[in-house]
Amino acid sequence: MKKVLEAKELNKYFYEPVEFHVLKDINLSIYSGEFASIVGPSGSGKSTLLYALSSLDREYKGQVLFDEIELKTLTNQKLAHLRNKSIGFIFQFHFLLADFTALDNVMLPGLKLGELTHEELEEKAMQKLDILGIADQATKNVNRLSGGQQQRVSIARALINEPRIIFCDEPTGNLDSKNAMNVFEMLKNLTREFDQTILMVTHDDSFSSETDRQIQLLDGKIIDRQ
Ligand SMILES: Nc1ncnc2c1ncn2[C@@H]1O[C@H](COP(=O)(O)OP(=O)(O)OP(=O)(O)O)[C@@H](O)[C@H]1O
């Protein structure tokens, strides 16, 4: 399997209010098509690791390679392009644009990338909403959707540019158990049916146990890989 992402000797420090060594000697590879989860107790460094691996944070020691390109060597402009084209993000809070429709929200990263016409993009966005089972909600303002539907819109948005990898930080954390299960099943379906690579931080053992691999963190160190 092709390596999508690799961390080599990744160490992260926070310096405020006191120096704190948060990630310790992380070596890790994520392969194309796998659904991996990062698990561990609160404060163990899961989100910090996800932010470094996903290029949102580049203030660390060591290397993170995306398709063998070291992220730290990219200019801000090249990094912004790589993020938009090759990386999808799903957070606990969806960060959708209020006052815009579901369809507009899904199309936005595609408009920014500028590779397709408006019509082509609209068709593609509708396909993504359809995969997520909410094509019938496309023209509704996102404020009028339920929490579970909003999170599905944010997944469709993450998919629009057909990213190499999707990073999820507690994607089900803000949902009731039924919607959480539903959103998790959608993510699982993306990996199983469409070979989408996903790396997900979660507190929920019932979800992480269903991923291909659990990366276990304790006090900033990887203690187990399955
Ligand atoms: N900006 C920051 N400055 C200083 N310390 C931070 C900062 N962000 C996080 N930390 C600390 O780093 C440690 C790891 O935080 P992180 O959010 O990565 O943990 P986590 O495993 O994702 O936790 P949770 O499961 O509670 O979300 C914690 O002790 C946290 O207090």
Instruction: Return the domain boundaries, the chain.
Output: 34-60+73-225
Q: What's the CATH superfamily of 34-60+73-225?
A: P-loop containing nucleotide triphosphate hydrolases (3.40.50.300)
Q: pTM of the entire structure?
A: 0.94
pLDDT number for residue 72: 94
Kindly give the number of the ligand 1 atom that is closest to the alpha carbon of 49: 18
Q: What is the pLDDT of residues 103-161, one digit of tens each?
A: 999 999 999 999 999 999 999 999 999 999 999 999 999 999 999 999 999 999 999 99
Distance 53 CA to ligand 1 centre (A): 15
Q: Whose CA is nearest to atom 30 of ligand 1?
A: 43
Asked whether residue 64 carries a pLDDT value surpassing 60, the answer given is yes
Burial of 197 (0-12, 13-18, 19+ CB in 10 A): buried
Distance 183 CA to ligand 1 centre (A): 25
43 lines ligand 1 (CB under 6 A): yes
Spatial separation of the C-alpha atoms in residues 25 and 86, rounded to whole Å: 26
Spatial separation of the C-alpha atoms in residues 107 and 47, rounded to whole Å: 27
Distance in angstroms between the alpha carbons of the first and the last residue of the chain: 16
What is the value of ipTM here, to two decimals? 0.97
Please confirm whether the linkage preceding 109 is cis (ω < 30° from 0).
no
Kindly give the number of the ligand 1 atom that is closest to the alpha carbon of 220: 14
